[in-house]
A and B are shown apart, each in its own frame.
Chain A
Amino acid sequence: MIYIGDVLVSRGEGGVYSERMLAGARIWDPFRSKLAALYYSGTGVELTPEMRVLYLGAANGTTVSHVADYTDVVYAVEFAPRPMQDLLEVARRRQNLVPIMADASRPELYAPLVEAVDLLYQDVAQPDQAAILIRNCVFLRPGGMAILMLKTRSVDIRKSPEEVFRDTMAELAAAGLTVVESVWLSPYHKDHAAIVCSKSPGN
């Protein structure tokens, strides 16, 4: 990851969401992007230029644009038409961004478009977040990494965030994923946790 001083940045064309620039690079704001918050917490998966990424829940293309600055190709999946319009606009100016309009919980609908990826990133506001991640693990190459941005309040508002977190960890482990690390994203994002997993190289 590229830091200028202690500010996380990415190198690419600016103006995606009127982000501020620093020495010609785009500042990646941890208060706006959960992935940036994960990097600020001192952990996360290092993004490399040869990486292929499947990004579920791309929304308006804010975080996606930064990921695309770092990596080889990003397959960005988004379902809702309104944010998709913005995502298409971002993708028009980034040749390594492949916008896919589909429901992330139905991988069979976009499987014919997506190749094996090194990183699976998921940030969807759905109650079955873990299940969606697991279903999409088929695209992850053996040994690849998965990042789940857990919105505990979207999963179950009646349970405490800690409870949702524990349940999710158990669900991921049961599906054969190894949880590498997990952090709460406070103070940047309330009641959000990032869970980094790896897929075993064996299968």
Chain B
Amino acid sequence: MRSYWFGDIGDGGCHPAEGDTGARVQRLQSLRTTMDNYVLLNWEDAVACGICNDRAGYLAALRELCFAAAEQQIREQYAGKDTELLQMVRTLDEMDEAINLLSERVTEWHQVRHPTFSRKYRRTPAHIQVKNIALKGRGALGMVATQVEQLAAARTDLAKEVSARAGRVLPNTSALIGGLVAARLMSAAGGLLPLSRLPGSAIQVLGARTALFAHLRTKSPSPKHGVIFQHRRVHNAPKERRGKVARALAGKLAIAARLDYFRGVAVPEFLDDAQARIDRIGTGDSP
């Protein structure tokens, strides 16, 4: 028996594929074709099958099926929960850059309008400064400052969403270094699958590309940490122990990423063990 998208052809003639387009897509995907002695499809068989009347009808029916199948496959590909998280965390990082740039610029602009204004001896954080400008500034300056404020508000919301989603997509990695940093690690690796394939040593320096290649090319020291520096365990560790902490943490992260990819749920035994080990190294209690 030979099976094609429109039906099965056997000794007893043709059995057309039944059901609506969705059912036909399912049938198509369940077909197991082998290419040995394969008999090519002949579109006239579809006419004999009663699927269509002519060539134009054949193509129309085939196209309908192909569109439905492709759309379903695209949806499945994107359904992998990490694809949206990837876009979210990259958006977040780009928003940070935009907000910083614009805040700086707005402040500079404000300074030109107010010759007596100076930021010296003022401990005003940048976002408060922008807020003041938004309240006082007239015309375009005030409007831009207001927009920067709103962008910052959206950024805060997005950061919360990223953390929450990272907790679901990367439960083990997030438990070790927090949702935001876990998501950034995944973004730097290019996805959950690529991250789970990286060795600990690569995870340790993810996001320190410039330093890593400078090290490989010249005699500069190797980077101790990349993205994982953002986690307090690494940046709060005493300087002489930071490299050690980063190395241990990265090793555990490599395992965590694999658990996230293959199991997708938090594994308490592993996490307790890993937390204890990293803490030990962080406080210098272990050899």
Chain A interface residues toward B at CB < 8 A:
73, 81, 84-85, 88, 91-92, 95-101, 107-109, 111-116, 135, 138-139
Contact = CB atoms under 8 A, between A and B. Distances in A.
Interface in B26-62: 28, 31, 33-35, 38, 40-43, 59-60, 62
25 contacts: A73-B59, A81-B77, A81-B78, A84-B70, A85-B74, A95-B59, A95-B60, A98-B59, A100-B69, A101-B73, A101-B74, A108-B34, A111-B38, A111-B41, A112-B3, A112-B41, A113-B4, A114-B40, A114-B41, A115-B40, A115-B41, A115-B43, A116-B41, A116-B42, A138-B40
B14 interface: no
Contacts of A139: 40
A91 B60 CA distance: 12
Contact of A138 (B4, B31, B35, B73): B35
A135 B78 CA distance: 29
A140 to B, nearest CB: 10
A107 B40 CA distance: 12
B63 interface: yes
B66 interface: yes
A116 B70 CA distance: 22
Contacts of B41: 111-116
Nearest to A87: B70
Dominant SS among interface residues on chain B: helix
B62 A113 contact: yes
B70 A88 contact: yes
Given A81-B73, A101-B70, A138-B35, A115 B63 contact: no
B97 interface: no
Interface residues of B, number: 27
Contacts of A112: 3-5, 28, 31, 33, 41
Given A84-B70, A99-B66, A99-B70, A116 B77 contact: no
A95 B67 contact: no
Interface string B75-111: 0011000000000000000000000000000000000
Contact of B74 (A84, A107, A108, A113): A84
Contacts of B62: 98, 113
A88 B70 CA distance: 8
Minimum-distance CB pairs A-B, first 10? A101-B70, A81-B77, A108-B33, A81-B74, A112-B4, A101-B73, A115-B41, A112-B5, A116-B40, A111-B33
Nearest to B62: A98
Contacts of B77: 81
Interface of B: 3-5, 28, 31, 33-35, 38, 40-43, 59-60, 62-63, 65-67, 69-71, 73-74, 77-78
A96 B74 CA distance: 22
Given A73-B59, A112-B28, A139-B40, A100 B70 contact: yes
**Best-surrounded residue of B42, B66, B74 (most CB of chain A within 10 A):** B66
Given A95-B63, A111-B35, A138-B35, 8 more contacts: A88-B67, A91-B63, A101-B73, A101-B74, A112-B3, A112-B28, A113-B65, A115-B42
B59 A100 contact: no
A86 to B, nearest CB: 11
A112 B8 CA distance: 10
Contacts of B73: 81, 84, 101
Contacts of B34: 108
B33 A101 contact: no
A147 to B, nearest CB: 20
Nearest to A117: B40
Contacts of A138: 35, 38, 40
Contacts of A111: 33, 35, 38, 40-41
A108 to B, nearest CB: 4
Contacts of B60: 95
A99 B64 CA distance: 10
Nearest to B41: A115
A80 B195 CA distance: 20
Contacts of B66: 98-100, 113
